[in-house]
Amino acid sequence: MPGETMTAALVAAEDFRAQGTGVLFTHLGENLVRLEDADRTADHYLTLIEETARRGIDGEPSLKLTQLGFDIDRLRAAEHVHALASRAAPRTVWIDMEGSAYTEATVSLYEASKRSHANVGICLQAYLKRTEADIQRLLPLEPRIRLVKGAYAEAPEVAFQGRREVDANYLKLVVSMLDAQRAERPLFLGLGTHDVNLIAQAADHAREIGLSRTAFDVEMLYGIRTDQQRRLRDEGYNVRVLIAYGEAWYPWYMRRLAERPANVVFALRQLLP
């Protein structure tokens, strides 16, 4: 993280602007219990959208529905998404995915939002067994999809458990979406992964079916594999960096580490040369 404040996130984003790299912003915090806090979060993102435009930053917000009051009033959360998408257009507003208990409701809200706002995107998780069907379900809407592996602890009947299984399904889903593009099904694809082997395999498949490596974006976290971010950008990939910030960083980070022990190993590796 560049810091806890919006200002720190915007300063970091300006550095990427100078490099020709776009960014995603996420203000940390989720599962709020008071609607007034959700309203403040929405106001925060509205200000962020305005500041991003004023500073000429290629930046897009990525929202967690529970931070917009989804657990308390789903209609109110949907109204916040509507307001943010309206203000951000034509820039994309992303709806982040949370635990599997929220998946169906999140996909449903995305469907409703996408019918009104072309600039709304959704994050899907490759380790969920339902994601293949969710992609097919969303294709008629010309979706904007960011595909991640998934960070929550999920039951075996819901999610693939082993790394090889998750990686295989990730690549399978990427191939299916690139094939959809090749068949002229309008679709934006963002690869939310630090796995450069998967990125290379995606690029290989794109080339094999007549698409360029710009058929998808590569999206990595701020401060993670910075050398690879630069390399990929220099090789002609569209690279976007996700900048997380906010006072809620500690519970967010610790919960991620506790839920999936593999994240601990990954985090430690980033400290090594």
87 catalytic residue (yes or no): no
Angle, alpha carbons 37-125-216 (nearest 5°): 105
DSSP H helices, the chain, are 6-19, 35-54, 74-88, 103-116, 131-138, 163-182, 196-208, 226-234, 249-259, 262-269
Q: Which helix (H) or strand (E) holds 238?
A: strand 238-245
Contacts of 36 (CB under 8 A, 6+ apart): none
Rounded CA separation 162/195 (Å): 15
User: Active site includes 146?
Assistant: yes
Q: Which helix (DSSP H) or strand (DSSP E) does residue 200 occupy?
A: helix 196-208
- How far CA 63 is from CA of 24, 44, 121, 172, 220, in Å, comes to 10, 11, 10, 26, 16
Q: Which of 96, 134, 167, 195 is catalytic?
A: 96
One-letter identity of residue 237: Y
* Catalytically annotated residue among 144, 146, 213, 240: 146
> What are the angstrom distances between the C-alpha of 142 and each of 131, 175, 181?
16, 17, 10
Active site residues: 96, 146
